[in-house]
Structure 1
Amino acid sequence: MLSAGQALRDRYQLQQKLGQNAGRQTWLATDTQASPPTDVVVKLLAFNPQMQWDDLKLFQREAQVLKNLNHPRIPKYLDYFSVDGVGASLEASSADNNSDQSNVTGLPWFGLVQDYIPGDSLKQLLEQGKPFSENQVRQFAEDLLKILINLHELSPPVLHRDIKPSNLILGKKNQIYLVDFGAVQDKAKAEGATFTVVGTSGYAPPEQLWGKAVPASDLYALGATLIHLLTGIPPAELPQQRMRIKFQDKVQINPNFAHWINQLIQPAPEKRLSTARQALSSLQSGFIDHPSKFSVQESISRLSDTDSGYGCGCLALLGLIGLGGLISLFLSNAAHQAKQSETKQYVGEMNRAQQAYVLEKNAFIENAFIERTQAIALNLTDAGEYTQALTVTRSIPHDSIRSNTIQAIAPYLTTVTEYEQGIQVAKTITDYEQKAKALDAMVRRLVAIGEHKRAVQITETIQLYYGGKDKAMAAIERYKPSP
């Protein structure tokens, strides 16, 4: 039995058990032979007749892969050994998978030693009730994608296959680290082999459960992890529709960011963003803006700064010609010509069906403008310019996007003028369900600020959305703040 204070190989003195499950233990230890003595992590696998042979193969594969990795956000491989001095080496672990299992009979423990990363796992922080802001989660996504780019572009590619909050460590300098490569797959060695099903329910994509992991499988797990961080709810506990996790009603975030996450969690891998590099480019592109980075003036003028052909002096145009005229201007032939090179790049990242639609319908410019207009509204909200934000929202021609934008703005409204304007903008939506969702967001705000009578008036106009008048009144009671 292993215990604190025990020294393995007269070198690694065990300090504290960090985790344990199914014949595995993870310890914080001190490398007494290092100068000066250094904290390390020792992962141990107990070898016994009851263990699955694949467990040992996965453990050895983890050691092999880690030995060849060199990334500042992945704990560095330091050592691999067997307790009691019985031979076990990385060279032996690469032997034929069909070799006689008796070769390792009598080995009580295998050990893998790595750098120790001080910090807490994101799972621990979630369990402590720590909320994560949208900006934090977005930064985690960017950092993890940069790690995945490094792994996936190795030759052969390395797939982690078990990205989840418990395998992400938030370091002392708020840097994210990817740990636990126990499910790692060396793609070259996997070809033609019998697959071991690995991963964690809720985070692993469908194809991985069938033993056919691809780089996009790690992107799915990343998306599911981001959803957990944003909602505080494990993805396995969230509802699904057509095998896709439904989460947007559980959290208020930039609709563009939500759309990007939805691109990661598509059940079919061919419909997902296919590579980590493509996902990072999409996240950082102008189609997903960072609201906190821009002032009101910058939010509007950024259209002209970043897109030649969109015109200049957008702030003045808002007042002189109105948003309807601005839309017409942005959809002019001049704007269309100026966007050709960007269109080609954007279309190049789509699948064939999407390419055919865009090229046939010539929809790129319109869609780009709608997304940028929505970003302006959200940036104005972030800056506290709620009336202007609602004015911009009114110009969005798509009911679902206009509804989502109103829902994002509603929690920030504070005055009678603002919430009445929000109600009027919501009423311009023609699709009943989208209109009801937007008005329901306004009802929640009215209840929160004590405008109970006005909230009742609005719910009566959309009572079918709640399932009748009685259920509408019950919804209002639920929306009341807790005493």
Structure 2
Amino acid sequence: MDKENLIINGRYLVLENIGKGGAGEVFLARDIKNGRKYAIKRYISSNPNDRNQLIDNIERELNVLKYTTHPVLPKIYNLFMEDSRFFLVMEYVEGINLKEVVDTKGALSEEQLLSVMEQVCSGLYYLHSLEPPIVYRDLKPSNIILSDDGKIKLIDFGIAKRYNRELIADKYAYGTKEFASPEQFGNSKGMGIYNTDIRSDIYAVGTTMFYLLTGRSYNGKVDSALISRSFAKIISKCTKVRPKERYQSTIDVICDLKRCRKSMIRKLIYPIIKKITKKI
């Protein structure tokens, strides 16, 4: 952003650029009226003919975040237009996205993964339980912000949608191919784009888990040599090509994650109990 535009809307002092994607870029800014920090998303449209689609994306993101309340969803505070650009003022979440965590520090431990994915699935379950359900469609490590206290936030709802049972197929292919379900883009086996639903998000739960545990992109196979059998089973079920063969709710994923946690605790406690009883 140019220096002469460091203060936008007469009140937001831009401090730094903190992210950029296909739909826009995000700045950290301070409100000169109340001193608080906010994340401000500036929507980008390189082609004037894309303006209607841009407005649709903005409305979609607003509709998702404005009327929802959950610990993993950021709050929004303002929407304005300046110099023919749209700006969305959102809650600023201090932390680092999980792609950066893995790329710089290595794969997450199983304990870290459980904490993160239980929160992710809880947030998705909230969205999926709304009427009509909201399908996120862009779950991936770079859209999960981890704060110092271990809490997470999901960001970038520009391609989220309210599920419409009457639609036969989505109008556009949306998502990040590295993590998105086959039905969001179609595949080489003849599966075309269709009316994506909550099971598309569940597929992305699996691909995201795989990346966080291995530092690698999911390639259609779960190598049990890279991850434990219990996590491999969850990832495999999340990422079935046919949606009807996946988990049908993130609650079911949470239940299996909790079983993994209990199994980990038993493995830690068993040697201690064995040592104590041997002394007795």
Same fold (TM over 0.5): yes
Per-residue deviation, 1:214 = 1.1
Question: Which residue of structure 1 aligns with residue 124 of structure 2?
Answer: 148
Distance 2:117 2:214 in 1: 15
**2:169–2:195 CA contact under 8 A, matched in 1:** no
Give the 3 Å change call, closer, same or farther, for CA 276–23 of structure 1 in structure 2: closer
Question: Which residue of structure 2 aligns with residue 265 of structure 1?
Answer: 239
Give the 3 Å change call, closer, same or farther, for CA 81–274 of structure 1 in structure 2: same
Question: Which residue of structure 2 aligns with residue 292 of structure 1?
Answer: 265
Distance 2:197 2:272 in 1: 40
Distance 2:23 2:159 in 1: 16
Unaligned runs of 5+ in 2: 186-192
Aligned-pair RMSD on alpha carbons?
Answer: 2.6
**2:175–2:184 CA contact under 8 A, matched in 1:** yes
Counterpart AA for 1:113: V
Distance 1:299 1:202 in 2: 44
Per-residue deviation, 1:52 = 6.0
Per-residue deviation, 1:3 = 4.0
**1:25–1:45 CA contact under 8 A, matched in 2:** yes
**1:42–1:114 CA contact under 8 A, matched in 2:** yes
Per-residue deviation, 1:46 = 3.5
Per-residue deviation, 1:292 = 3.5
Per-residue deviation, 1:50 = 5.3
- Secondary structure of 1:204's counterpart equals coil
Question: Which residue of structure 1 aligns with residue 149 of structure 2?
Answer: 173
Corresponding residue pairs, total: 267
Max radius of gyration: which structure?
1
Q: Work out which of the residue numbers 21, 39, 45 in structure 2 matches 1:41.
A: 39
Runs of 4+ that moved beyond 6 A: 297-300
Percent identity of equivalent pairs = 28
Q: Work out which of the residue numbers 273, 277, 281 in structure 1 matches 2:251.
A: 277
**1:12–1:31 CA contact under 8 A, matched in 2:** yes
Which deviations, in whole Å up to 9, do the C-alpha atoms of 1:217-238 show, x marking residues without a partner? 1111011011001111122xx3
What pairs up with 1:236-255 in 2 under 5 angstroms? Answer: 238=219, 244-249=220-225, 251-253=226-228, 255=229
Give the 3 Å change call, closer, same or farther, for CA 4–188 of structure 1 in structure 2: farther
Q: Which has the higher strand share?
A: 2
Distance 1:71 1:273 in 2: 22
Q: Compute the TM-score of the two structures, normalised by the length of structure 2.
A: 0.86
Counterpart AA for 1:33: K
Distance 2:162 2:200 in 1: 14
Which deviations, in whole Å up to 9, do the C-alpha atoms of 1:135-193 show, x marking residues without a partner? 11122111111111111101111111000010000012011211111110111498467
Q: Work out which of the residue numbers 205, 208, 222 in structure 1 matches 2:205.
A: 222
Unaligned runs of 5+ in 1: 85-107, 239-243, 301-314, 316-483
Distance 1:291 1:7 in 2: 51
Distance 2:202 2:169 in 1: 23
Per-residue deviation, 1:129 = 3.5
Which deviations, in whole Å up to 9, do the C-alpha atoms of 1:328-373 show, x marking residues without a partner? xxxxxxxxxxxxxxxxxxxxxxxxxxxxxxxxxxxxxxxxxxxxxx
Counterpart AA for 1:274: Q
Q: Compute the TM-score of the two structures, normalised by the length of structure 1.
A: 0.51
Question: Which residue of structure 2 aligns with residue 309 of structure 1?
Answer: none
Q: Work out which of the residue numbers 180, 195, 215 in structure 2 matches 1:212.
A: 195
Distance 2:4 2:251 in 1: 43
**2:95–2:145 CA contact under 8 A, matched in 1:** yes
Counterpart AA for 1:46: I
Give the 3 Å change call, closer, same or farther, for CA 40–215 of structure 1 in structure 2: same
- Secondary structure of 1:110's counterpart equals strand
Counterpart AA for 2:50: M
Question: Which residue of structure 2 aligns with residue 76 of structure 1?
Answer: 75
Per-residue deviation, 1:32 = 2.0
Counterpart AA for 1:292: I
Distance 1:272 1:141 in 2: 17
Distance 2:160 2:142 in 1: 15
**1:197–1:211 CA contact under 8 A, matched in 2:** no
What pairs up with 1:4-43 in 2 under 5 angstroms? Answer: 6-22=6-22, 24-34=24-34, 37-43=35-41
**2:114–2:261 CA contact under 8 A, matched in 1:** no
Give the 3 Å change call, closer, same or farther, for CA 53–27 of structure 1 in structure 2: same
- Secondary structure of 2:120's counterpart equals helix
